[in-house]
Amino acid sequence: MKELGITVKKQENFSEWYTQVVQKAELADIRLGIQGFIVHKPWGFFIIKKIYEYLEEEIEKQGHSAFLFPVAVKEENLKKEKQHAGFTPNVFWITEAGDKKIEEKFALRPTGEAQIYPMYSLWFRSHKDLPFKGYQSRISVFRNEMTTRPFLRGREFLFFETHNVFNSHNEAEEQIKDDLETCRKIIYDKIKIPFLYFKRPQWDKFKGADHTFTPDTLMPDGKRNQLASTHDLGQNFSKAFNIKIRGKDEKEQFVWQTCFGPGIWRIMAALIGIHGDDKGLVIPFEMAPLQIVIIPITFSDKKSESKKIIDSCVKIENSLKKLCYRVKFDNSEETPGFKYHKWELQGVPIRIEIGPKEIKSKKVSVALRTENKKTQITISKIDKEIKKLSLKLDKDIKDKADNYFKNNTRNSNSLDELKELVKKYRGFIKVPFCSVDNDGKSCADILKIETDGADICGTLYPKEEKTNPNQKCIICNKKANHIVYVAKSY
């Protein structure tokens, strides 16, 4: 295997494989020199822009309007909602400008609530102003994470957030259903990443929320990757930030709120980790920065024949560009084998090869990134055939991801069995548990210690699995009221 390519197998050393794909497929550069801050390179950022585009299009269909807030958050606002104030130990504070101290220090936003909701208290006065659905996209947030990894955890990471305001809790609950449907349409249908929906336990919900719901997937090392989160904020923030309106009954009342945060980085990490193979990236057709690469097969001692091949490559490239495909004729001086490795590493979905045989037959050889074979298609039917191949590639990606994910859950009814499964098995483990309210936290803490770091992800949502009357909590041996999912997490 050339040094250009991946030098480890994904299933044998996922951590090193992931690092090599991020670097060698030109997704990000970590050499900026500040821990947790990365450079998004053009190839990787194109894919990220697609994630943003999908999300923006979907939520705007639901009536969301875009706004943009500054990066600065006032210290007093970060501390207004008592639970949400738990973010403050991890924020970056701005205390100086040049050589002078700032009178009132402020933070770089760790998330949007504490900067957006003070403004909401000024924007809304009547029930007629609601519902209001707002979002901001293509922004960064900042948290002082001690452990960092590109697209999984960082000190600056890309963000997307909706912040919605309603007259009633029923409306808020309907929005949460819409948020989860957005995850299905974008993360699963378009990006082909399978997941399970969970309702998080009370001790692990978003700070300041009544309830938190998440779509979680599994990376190939068996760790849970939380892809997004949607939060029922109740009236907690409206009371903290005094967001009140006059209702239909002319009485003043606090509003109900939700917020939704698809994890742009986490979705990108899942795309890399779940779809990729030992050659590198694998990308759904519409998300690929380059959808088709054309590679000539020429011989230096046959100049006349080579000219015909080059001319044919140029003609096909131009015709595919007119059909709005992202296509490149790779006429570099590298060998065909080198070009194969390069474009496979970067996940280009379709490779077209044209050599002497293809010129004679008036066909081209085509290889899909998801297959280890070539087929021939007639040049005159190339548009129709490319459409078929793009659909097949996406189906291959989805089927492979579904197959990877479908048998990833085991059952355990004892702590000893759970500990063994956590050591040997890569996936979710279902266990009986006493409570997902705060009084179950002590059992969750013991479980984490005993399993060397496994977390309770939550209960399945929207339909929670039932326990049987004989099941006992895996930790305290009291009656089990819930079936919870356990996994190690990023």
At 462, is the pLDDT very low, low, confident or very high (cuts 50, 70, 90)? Answer: very high
Mean pLDDT of 404-416: 94
At position 298, the amino acid (one-letter code) is T
Could you tell me the pLDDT band of residue 303, with boundaries at 50, 70 and 90? confident
Q: Residue 263: what pLDDT?
A: 98
pLDDT at 183: 98
**3-state SS track over the chain:** CCCCCCCCCCCCCHHHHHHHHHHHCCCEECCCCCCCCCEECHHHHHHHHHHHHHHHHHHHHCCCEECCCCCEEEHHHHCCCCCHHHHHHHCEEEEEECCEEEEEEEEECCCCHHHHHHHHHHHCCEHHHCCEEEEEEEEEEECCCCCCECCCECCEEEEEEEEEEECCHHHHHHHHHHHHHHHHHHHHHHCCCCCEEEECCHHHCCCCCCEEEEEEEECCCCCEEECEEEEEEECHHHHHCCCEEECCCCCEEECEEEEEEECHHHHHHHHHHHHCECCECCCCHHHCCCCEEEEECCCCCCHHHHHHHHHHHHHHHHHHHHCCCCEEECCCCCCHHHHHHHHHHCCCCEEEEECHHHHHHCEEEEEECCCCCEEEEEHHHHHHHHHHHHHHHHHHHHHHHHHHHHCCEEECCCHHHHHHHHHHCCCEEEEEECCCCHHHHHHHHHHHHHCCCCEEEEEECCCCCCCCCCCECCCCCCECCEEEEEECEC
Chain segment 117-147, per-residue pLDDT in tens: 999 999 999 999 999 999 999 999 999 998 9
- Checking if the pLDDT of 300 tops 90, the result is no
- Average pLDDT for residues 268-295, to the nearest whole number? 98
Q: Print burial letters for 417-432: b (CB count within 10 Å at least 16), e (below 16).
A: ebbebbeeebbbbbbb
CA distances from 272 to 169, 192, 290, 453 (A): 38, 12, 16, 24
CA dist 403 and 364 (Å) reads 32
Please, which residues bridge with residue 266 across strands?
none
Question: How far is Cα of residue 17 from the mean position of the Cα atoms in its chain?
Answer: 19
| 3 has a pLDDT exceeding 80 | no
At 230 the pLDDT is 98
Give 112's strand partners: none
Mean pLDDT of 17-44: 97
Buried b (16+ CB within 10 A) or exposed e, 33-58: eeebebebeebbbbbbebbebbbbeb
All residues at 6 or more sequence positions from 135 whose CB lies less than 8 Å from its CB, including other chains: 56, 59, 64, 65, 66, 67, 160, 161, 162, 163
Predicted TM-score of the model (pTM): 0.96
CA–CA distance, 18 with 28 (Å, rounded to integer): 12
Report the distance separating Cα 169 and Cα 232, nearest Å.
9
Per the model's pLDDT, the better-predicted residue between 264 and 104 turns out to be: 264
Confidence band for 84, pLDDT divided at 50, 70 and 90? confident
Arch. (CATH architecture) of 14-275: 2-Layer Sandwich (3.30)
Percent pLDDT > 70 in the chain is 99
pLDDT, average across residues 395-416: 95
The residue ranges of every structural domain in the chain are 14-275, 285-393, 409-487
Assigned architecture for domain 409-487: 2-Layer Sandwich (3.30)
Mean pLDDT of 347-355: 97
Q: What pLDDT is recorded for position 5?
A: 87
For position 281, what pLDDT does the model report?
98
- Integer Cα distance of 94 and 70 in angstroms: 14
Q: What is the mean pLDDT of residues 37-58?
A: 98
Mean pLDDT of the chain: 96
Return the pLDDT at 2: 44
pLDDT for residue 4 is more than 90: no
pLDDT tens digits for range 206-240: 999 999 999 999 999 999 999 999 999 999 999 99
Tokens of 355: 């050599």
pLDDT for 1 equals 38
Judged against a pLDDT cut of 50, whether residue 325 lies above it is answered with yes
- Residue 456: pLDDT band (50, 70, 90) is very high
Residue-level pLDDT at 450 = 97
Spatial CB neighbours of 242, under 8 Å, sequence gap ≥ 6:
121
Cβ burial, residue 280 (10 Å; 0-12/13-18/19+): buried
Which CATH number among 3.40.50.800, 3.60.9.10, 3.30.70.1520, 3.30.565.10 corresponds to the domain 285-393? 3.40.50.800
Locus of tokens 């030098």: 7
pLDDT of 350:
98
pLDDT digits (tens, 9 = 90+) for 86-102: 888 899 999 999 999 99
Q: Residue 475 is which amino acid? A: I
